[in-house]
Structure 1
Amino acid sequence: MELEPTLLLVGAVKAAANAGAAEIGKKTGSVVAERTKGLLVRMHMARRGDDVGAASGQGADFGQGAAGGGHVDLEPVELDPARAEEYAVAIMRRAAVDPEMAREVADLLATAREAGDIPRLRVVPPVIAPPRVFVNRVGEQADLTDAAAAGVVVVAGRPGIGKTALMGKWLADLVAAKAFEACVYLELPDRGRDMGVADVARELLRRVGVDTSVPRSDAEWVALWHSVMRGKRYCVVVDEVTQPGQVRALIPESGEALPGGGSLLVAVGAEPLAELAAEGAEFVEVGPFDADAGVALTRQLIGDARVDAEPEAVEQVVEACDGIPAVLALAAGILGQKRDWPVAQLAALLADGGRQLDVLRKRGGGRQVVDLVFDAGYAELDSDAAQAYRAMGHLERADFQPGVLAALADLPEPVTVAALETLLAKYMVTEHEWPATGYRVGDMQRNHAREAAQRAGEFGVQARTAALRRVRDMLVATVQEADAAASPNRPLRVPEVVAGGGRFATGAEGLHWVDAHLPDLLACAESGDDDAALRIAGSVWPYVTNYRRWDDGAWLYRHAAALARRTGFAEAEARNLCELSRCLLETYDKVGARAAVTRAAQLVGNAPARLRASVTEFVGLVELADGEHEKAYELFVECRRLHRREGEDVTRGEVLAMEMQGRALRWGGEFERAVTVLEEALGVAPDEQRLQARLRMDLAEALLNANRGGEAVRYLEEALPLLEAQRMAGDKYNAEVMLRAAHRR
């Protein structure tokens, strides 16, 4: 490998200053020495017969030297060999800005090459040993190998997740396989703070045996690295990179084809370094261990006997540590110190969220690990991200939605979403894969957030009560808006829906929100807030029926009915019992369904007609499920009568009753009568997607039963987009089956 130009000039200057004294002087000959002297004279750094001038090189007069760097007719020039480096650097800097000087330097170096063999710099790859303890990461190693062809790879993951161990193992395997001529691993001190690309280049050069004692500019250090490594097939791993600029200029040059493939730079960091995608980088993320890998690591650290004796306790320890290898190693260290402890004792300590981190800090002497994995990342957050992070301490579950966190943090939701992007970049949370929404935080991370909230005075009784109240208010208000969007024609709700304005542009958006927040809504309903529970139960009916969440609905409506009964709210009890009956019918509990509607009918003797009509409808559904078609039909006729309002247009309730009449007729085998009733209902139905879709499906089914499949096609084709818009997947599937049958007829 050739010396880079500045080093070559150093030798030439030494040859010029003390001909024959420097090894390079013997090789390049007197021509190079004389031409180097000529350059220095023209730069006013050497004068005929004078002492050497100042090394400024500013405003140099190029004089009458021979063009192209030929012999300059001067009196003997005396140079100081000790200043050879200074002269050479000045020449190269001048050549960088002066095209004529650059040509002369290039010509000088060409002459040096022709004069004989130029000393080669020997690259000495440092020894790379594999980690003493290493588990799994088979997938990540394969990803690294596949990505290597890109020439630059980013390996990212939170602190303590095992990136360094992974790279040590992978590099050691490359060395053993002689996959590269040189492999270098460099961990930046202090997580790379205050280090620029020149500092990285200088340290890499030192690692491969280059003398780095001579001062250089930033650009020169980078150029020297590329010059020294040119022609070599090498792999460099730079760990603890915090900014793309620390490594961007060190990406291997792609212009030179090397045997066996190109060189590789791997940047390892606690953040994704996404900007390097513009340089063609491939990305490999390192995540927590799964349960099996965590147990395997623990087995290596504490031995087979203890793991095999208490496998369930070991799994609990792994889960408590969020699968973070550094934390797992710390927990194993505690067991190593306490050889008389059963693993279950440590598992119990780690299960206590209030003590978990203190156990690791104090019993395991792991303050440094906890600082690396948790404290350091929190300390780097801006104020909004830190506030959102502390609010995660209030979460009762690992999975959460941004709106819930925004309410806990008392921040606007857009600000919270931006804060979550910061937390994602630092691997403090993970995001669910599309089409699912929301985020997940590990239990230990959540416990750390709780600690931070306690230190900030945000986890006391009053603060926590206020945070949970904000979540309750958000959930209740928004679920009512979702209901209003999905059922815009003011269907019966007890208590009445009080919806704000227009968060959801479509019913589908509202239903999707309910689906994402269902665990929070159920938890809020169970929290002891009776009003919240009744309002939530009264607002999720479109969701339960469209998404067919009958089991969740059964729990919620049974719970809400019991609350209403305890508080003497008879109308709410009756309504929830009716909805409970539908859920029970769908889960094949006809006995339970009949008991629910029987109780509801007893409660509404003097209730408003609209509620009595609704109860009558649900009683009819139970009779229909029991095969009592005529009885069900009469109940639906009565339901329609109760909904009718003299002098007003047909109400939504009447249309629903007509739909049920048609269904009862169809189930009783009176298909043509069913078609007539359903056509009438469709003609007067309000413009509501869910109701319009259901009517078309019922009408199409009646037409199919009446051997009029050709007429059913139209209604099914009209129903399908409505069902899609309302996210009624089960009904959509049924409509597609019927459509295929209709085409065959």
Structure 2
Amino acid sequence: MEFRLLGPVEVVEDGKVLPQGRRQERLLLALLALSANQLVPAERLVTLLWDDEQPPQPLRTLQVYASRVRKALPRGASLVARDQGYQLEIDPESVDVHRFQHAVRRAEQEPDPAARAACLREALALWRGPALVDVASEEIRQRLCAGLEEERLQTLESRIEADLLVDWNEQLVAELTGLIAEHPLRERLIASLALALYRAGRAAHALDAIRAAKERAAKDLGLDLGRRLQELELAILQGDAQLLEPADPRSGRPRPRQLPAPVSGFVGRVEVADDLAALLTDRPSGSGAPVVVVSAIAGMGGIGKTALAVEVAHRIAGRFPDGQLFLDLRGFGAAPPMAAAEALGILLRSLGLADGDVPGDPAEAATLYRSLVADRRILIVLDNAQDAVVVEQLLPGAGSSAVIVTSRTQFNQLDTARSLLLDALTDEEALTLLRQLAGGARVDREPEAAGAILRACGNLPLAVRVAGARLAARPSWPISHLADRIADHRRRLDQLGLRRNGVRAVFASSLEQLQASDDPEDRQAAWTFARLGIPDSPRIRVVEAGRLLELPEFDAELLLERLVDAQLLGTTSPGVYRLHDLLWAFANEQAEALFDSDDRELALRRLLSLYASVAWRSVAVRNARAVRLDWAVEHWKDETDLTEPTGERTFGWLDEAKPQMLAVAFQGTHVSAATRASALSLAIGLGTYNFSRECWADLISLNRVAERIALEIGDSFAAGLLLQDLSVGLGGVGDADGALGAFESALEHLRRAQVPRAELLALTNFTASLFATGRYEESVVYGKQALDLVEDVAEDALIGGVNLALGRSYESMGALEAARHHFEEALRAAHRTGEQWRLAFILGELGVLDHRAGRLQEAISKLRRCVDIYEGLSQRDDMAASEGELGEALLDNGEPAEAVRYLRNGLNAAVRIGDGERAAVLRERLEQAEAAL
């Protein structure tokens, strides 16, 4: 079985070419074979298959192509569709691209020139034409195959140089002349031709070849020749006899091959690896003195920086014929970081210098190092770097070399470096890695447990590898067993840190760099990291960090940014930060080790106070006489000095704070009485926000816990408020029985607390909740109970609320006159309170009733006022819904021209909110209006 991509795409089985369908199906096969045994995302395949215009349903079309490719595969090959991508499972050696690259690597290790030339010929023989020539457009071929074509040319150059060492000079002149005509600026070919001519006794022709190349370089590129050709020209002019003796330059110039073995089962990072390889290798040939390319890969410990660097380095090693250097700078670990002098000594010895020839002065060593690599094409991997100053001394000054730097710190100081920040694996990539390590069938049998493990690992490659290795070493374990063991974040690092280089050890080495720093800001940043482990949330904003650290927000932000630089913290948007889940577990360990329980609780109370301050502001914004504010007067005091947010901005602030706010609220319900009291006040204060955002699930879960706290301290008022909010929340999720039970309990507690306003509000809210769930008759029963309390309370807002709730229930029951009576009572109350939104809503309800009763002029008048008020309040959706009602009234009143605009606005709103039934009615009415014009 062979997959041939180096030329026309073919699949061969038992010596016969198998039919493979249409061009795009063969291109799909080629794309998958290029990434054999790796998951290729469907989105990437779509982009490459249709580089001009995609079909209407590209993913569906891709599925069809994949099905056809699967059917045409030879025995022993399989195409797997999973995780929003495709993976061709085959022996990599069955793909000619992989065989070519392996043959080149074998040749590089071959000491005998004749054997090396033979091995390179074998590799070149696999090429039957330009790669993917019959399936890919020129643009796609450039994206996918430019690197392969460059490898082919470099392999050809290496083969010719090996032939020259065997002294096949005359035979090579004709071949080289033809090649230079095709590639006039490739200096290795020009040098080989000049050397072949010189050895054939044609020194003048050799000089002519070099001078012609010099003229072409100056004319086409405006550049001079490279150092290698200049030295060769001088040697020919001087009649250097050494040029006549074939000698392997490797004997005098070591070609180091120091790359460690690639990580077994390297997964994902497809586009990142492609971009990195292209960055390091895509440069014009013969361009005089190319600029050294430096790529700096940054990311938190365990993210896979070294694995990516080594994977890409092996992939492009053939493009650097003078060798590959690999140096661990020990930036993060138990051993002290490597100094520049030590690093330069190692590099110089790797380049062939004896110990006695290595300068003791670091500046001299750096100068010598740059001189030695200036005319070579070497790939240098500087792993685990910490200090940008050290890295700068290890960068070549000029030439065709390339450098990959990996670090947990972003080196913004390296002006010439292209930075690459690695993130965690995608869900699909992490699952692929776990399947490779623990066994695909085993993982597929327990998909939920596997997903739980990956979520606990936060898709961090190191953590997934540790988890996968544990499962592989324990084949009798169900995957769910390990999932259960790492579910608790307090035990998670124990389960993922059983090796010396486990997750905890990697994180600790990063933190220790800050703790041991001479810079006091670094040490304070390490302390800050531990403080971030106090709240039960990996997410934090600057305003919250200021409370947690007891620092001004500006100073807190500087410390957070220092942690970002150290890759111990991520930032998702300006002012918002997030710890990776495993880093948060590590920070939690640090917090418990460094701070006593009283200190941690005090920090929690400061956060709870911050959240409660904004929550209570949101209550006052919507209703300055809200019943819950009566409780706050007695039980809560704003101890913050917040100037913002105010007004409606409080709701946006709470939206942004919601994930960590809820986590801290729940955390506060499980500690001391003082902290539980703070959590209780937050839960009550969030009622208005939860109603406005319909956060029913959050309300239900938090209020159930907070209610128990209220009962523990004997606060019937608080318990009643929480239970009546809970009743609304349960009604919102359709749990009518639960809502009724919560309401009855709320009513009992509020009556015990003797707070008539609260009792009336509870009855009103429950009336509205029963209405919302379609239980109109029950709604009326409780609404009447609320009316009995109205005279005692004599508060217009509450009077209006009761009558509005009753009016809506009566309307739904068909008792239109009763509905009108209560709506008019609610309208009078709204006029007295000046609540514009409620005024608009009631006018809309009365307008609909007038329309149904045939009082069209009154309906139109009320609905116009309703629309005007909504427009003034910028309530676009409510306004558009009322415009639909107004349009219908205008149409029935014989005014189709004006009706069209309102009906169209109402229809658009119904479509936008997904109300199909209302949209159908308005669409029909709009057609009637347009027909009447």
Deviation for aligned residue 1:686: 11
Alpha-carbon separation, structure 2, partners of 1:352 and 1:650: 49
Instruction: Give the corresponding residue for 1:239.
Output: 383
Alpha-carbon separation, structure 1, partners of 2:396 and 2:319: 19
5+ residue gaps in structure 1? 1-109, 257-261, 724-728
Pairwise mapping of residues 626-641 of structure 1 onto structure 2 (< 5 A)?
Answer: 630-641=817-828
The structure with higher relative contact order (CA 8 Å, sep 6+) is 1
Deviation for aligned residue 1:353: 3.1
Matched, 1:599 2:742: no
Larger displacement relative to structure 2 (445-454 or 658-667): 658-667
Pairwise mapping of residues 418-437 of structure 1 onto structure 2 (< 5 A)?
Answer: 418-432=558-572
Alpha-carbon separation, structure 2, partners of 1:307 and 1:471: 41
How many percent of aligned residue pairs carry the same amino acid?
A: 23
Instruction: Give the corresponding residue for 1:372.
Output: 506
Matched position secondary structure for 1:215: coil
Instruction: Give the corresponding residue for 1:171.
Output: 313
Deviation for aligned residue 1:156: 1.2
Larger displacement relative to structure 2 (425-434 or 111-120): 111-120
> Which has more radius of gyration?
1
Q: 2:457 aligns with which of 314, 318, 321?
A: 321
Sort the Cα spacing of 1:214 and 1:423 in 2 relative to 1 into closer, same or farther, 3 A.
closer
Deviation for aligned residue 1:358: 3.8
Deviation for aligned residue 1:689: 3.1
Alpha-carbon separation, structure 2, partners of 1:202 and 1:584: 81
8 Å Cα contact 1:289/1:325 also seen in 2: yes
Deviation for aligned residue 1:538: 2.8
8 Å Cα contact 2:837/2:870 also seen in 1: yes
Query: Which AA in structure 2 matches 1:191?
Result: F
8 Å Cα contact 1:429/1:440 also seen in 2: yes
Instruction: Give the corresponding residue for 2:46.
Output: none
Matched, 1:128 2:295: no
Deviation track 1:563-598 (CA, whole Å, cap 9, x = no partner) reads 743531554465466557667767xx322x764674
> What RMSD over aligned residues (CA atoms) do the two structures have, in Å?
5.0
Q: 1:205 aligns with which of 348, 369, 372?
A: 348
Matched, 1:689 2:839: no
Deviation for aligned residue 1:155: 1.0
8 Å Cα contact 2:887/2:902 also seen in 1: no
Deviation for aligned residue 1:501: 7.1
Instruction: Give the corresponding residue for 2:890.
Output: 706
Pairwise mapping of residues 110-121 of structure 1 onto structure 2 (< 5 A)?
Answer: 117=240
Sort the Cα spacing of 1:626 and 1:596 in 2 relative to 1 into closer, same or farther, 3 A.
closer
8 Å Cα contact 2:332/2:510 also seen in 1: no
Instruction: Give the corresponding residue for 1:58.
Output: none
Sort the Cα spacing of 1:327 and 1:718 in 2 relative to 1 into closer, same or farther, 3 A.
closer
Sort the Cα spacing of 1:198 and 1:292 in 2 relative to 1 into closer, same or farther, 3 A.
same
Deviation track 1:290-331 (CA, whole Å, cap 9, x = no partner) reads 455445444554556865676654544443333333334444
Deviation track 1:685-738 (CA, whole Å, cap 9, x = no partner) reads 69973569845863575146414687689999999xxx9xxxxx9599999x99
Alpha-carbon separation, structure 1, partners of 2:871 and 2:627: 19
Deviation for aligned residue 1:417: 3.6
Instruction: Give the corresponding residue for 1:452.
Output: 590
Pairwise mapping of residues 155-170 of structure 1 onto structure 2 (< 5 A)?
Answer: 155-170=297-312
Sort the Cα spacing of 1:525 and 1:223 in 2 relative to 1 into closer, same or farther, 3 A.
closer
Sort the Cα spacing of 1:396 and 1:600 in 2 relative to 1 into closer, same or farther, 3 A.
farther
Q: Tell me the number of residue pairs that the alignment of Structure 1 and Structure 2 aligns.
A: 604
Matched position secondary structure for 1:355: helix
Alpha-carbon separation, structure 1, partners of 2:846 and 2:254: 89
8 Å Cα contact 1:326/1:369 also seen in 2: yes
Matched, 1:395 2:535: yes
Sort the Cα spacing of 1:476 and 1:578 in 2 relative to 1 into closer, same or farther, 3 A.
farther
Matched position secondary structure for 2:296: strand
Instruction: Give the corresponding residue for 1:618.
Output: 805
5+ residue gaps in structure 2? 1-232, 244-248, 284-292, 516-521, 670-675, 704-723, 729-741
Deviation track 1:515-535 (CA, whole Å, cap 9, x = no partner) reads 223345666777575543332
8 Å Cα contact 2:294/2:418 also seen in 1: yes
Query: Which AA in structure 1 matches 2:726?
Result: H
Sort the Cα spacing of 1:233 and 1:689 in 2 relative to 1 into closer, same or farther, 3 A.
farther
Alpha-carbon separation, structure 1, partners of 2:885 and 2:406: 61
Deviation for aligned residue 1:627: 5.8
Sort the Cα spacing of 1:693 and 1:502 in 2 relative to 1 into closer, same or farther, 3 A.
farther
Sort the Cα spacing of 1:229 and 1:579 in 2 relative to 1 into closer, same or farther, 3 A.
farther
Deviation for aligned residue 1:286: 2.5
Sort the Cα spacing of 1:438 and 1:585 in 2 relative to 1 into closer, same or farther, 3 A.
farther
Alpha-carbon separation, structure 1, partners of 2:301 and 2:422: 10
Deviation track 1:150-200 (CA, whole Å, cap 9, x = no partner) reads 92222111112222122222212222x546543322221343966565654
Sort the Cα spacing of 1:667 and 1:731 in 2 relative to 1 into closer, same or farther, 3 A.
farther
Query: Which AA in structure 2 matches 1:380?
Result: L
Instruction: Give the corresponding residue for 2:63.
Output: none
Sort the Cα spacing of 1:300 and 1:692 in 2 relative to 1 into closer, same or farther, 3 A.
closer
Deviation track 1:189-225 (CA, whole Å, cap 9, x = no partner) reads 3439665656545433332324463326544434433
Sort the Cα spacing of 1:348 and 1:224 in 2 relative to 1 into closer, same or farther, 3 A.
same
Matched, 1:145 2:285: no
Alpha-carbon separation, structure 2, partners of 1:224 and 1:191: 28
Query: Which AA in structure 2 matches 1:377?
Result: L
Deviation for aligned residue 1:129: 4.4
Pairwise mapping of residues 259-270 of structure 1 onto structure 2 (< 5 A)?
Answer: 263-270=401-408
Deviation for aligned residue 1:425: 2.9
Instruction: Give the corresponding residue for 1:191.
Output: 332
Deviation for aligned residue 1:558: 4.4
Instruction: Give the corresponding residue for 1:534.
Output: 684
Deviation for aligned residue 1:377: 2.2
TM-score, reference length from structure 1: 0.66
Deviation for aligned residue 1:419: 3.3
Sort the Cα spacing of 1:368 and 1:195 in 2 relative to 1 into closer, same or farther, 3 A.
same
Q: 1:215 aligns with which of 359, 365, 384?
A: 359
Instruction: Give the corresponding residue for 2:794.
Output: 608
Instruction: Give the corresponding residue for 2:718.
Output: none
Deviation for aligned residue 1:639: 0.7
8 Å Cα contact 2:871/2:879 also seen in 1: no
Alpha-carbon separation, structure 2, partners of 1:669 and 1:143: 70
Sort the Cα spacing of 1:521 and 1:659 in 2 relative to 1 into closer, same or farther, 3 A.
farther
Sort the Cα spacing of 1:703 and 1:433 in 2 relative to 1 into closer, same or farther, 3 A.
same
Query: Which AA in structure 2 matches 1:658?
Result: L
Q: 2:859 aligns with which of 674, 678, 683?
A: 674
Deviation for aligned residue 1:456: 1.4
Query: Which AA in structure 2 matches 1:441?
Result: L
Alpha-carbon separation, structure 1, partners of 2:510 and 2:490: 20
Alpha-carbon separation, structure 1, partners of 2:854 and 2:659: 42
Sort the Cα spacing of 1:501 and 1:199 in 2 relative to 1 into closer, same or farther, 3 A.
closer
Deviation for aligned residue 1:611: 0.8
Sort the Cα spacing of 1:523 and 1:284 in 2 relative to 1 into closer, same or farther, 3 A.
closer
Pairwise mapping of residues 345-356 of structure 1 onto structure 2 (< 5 A)?
Answer: 345-356=481-492
Sort the Cα spacing of 1:172 and 1:692 in 2 relative to 1 into closer, same or farther, 3 A.
closer
Sort the Cα spacing of 1:484 and 1:570 in 2 relative to 1 into closer, same or farther, 3 A.
closer
Instruction: Give the corresponding residue for 1:226.
Output: 370
Alpha-carbon separation, structure 1, partners of 2:821 and 2:372: 94
Query: Which AA in structure 2 matches 1:174?
Result: I
Sort the Cα spacing of 1:680 and 1:172 in 2 relative to 1 into closer, same or farther, 3 A.
closer
Alpha-carbon separation, structure 1, partners of 2:779 and 2:603: 37
Query: Which AA in structure 2 matches 1:159?
Result: G
Alpha-carbon separation, structure 1, partners of 2:876 and 2:436: 63
Matched, 1:441 2:626: no
Query: Which AA in structure 1 matches 2:859?
Result: A
Query: Which AA in structure 2 matches 1:188?
Result: L
Deviation for aligned residue 1:136: 0.6
Deviation for aligned residue 1:638: 0.8
Deviation for aligned residue 1:241: 2.0
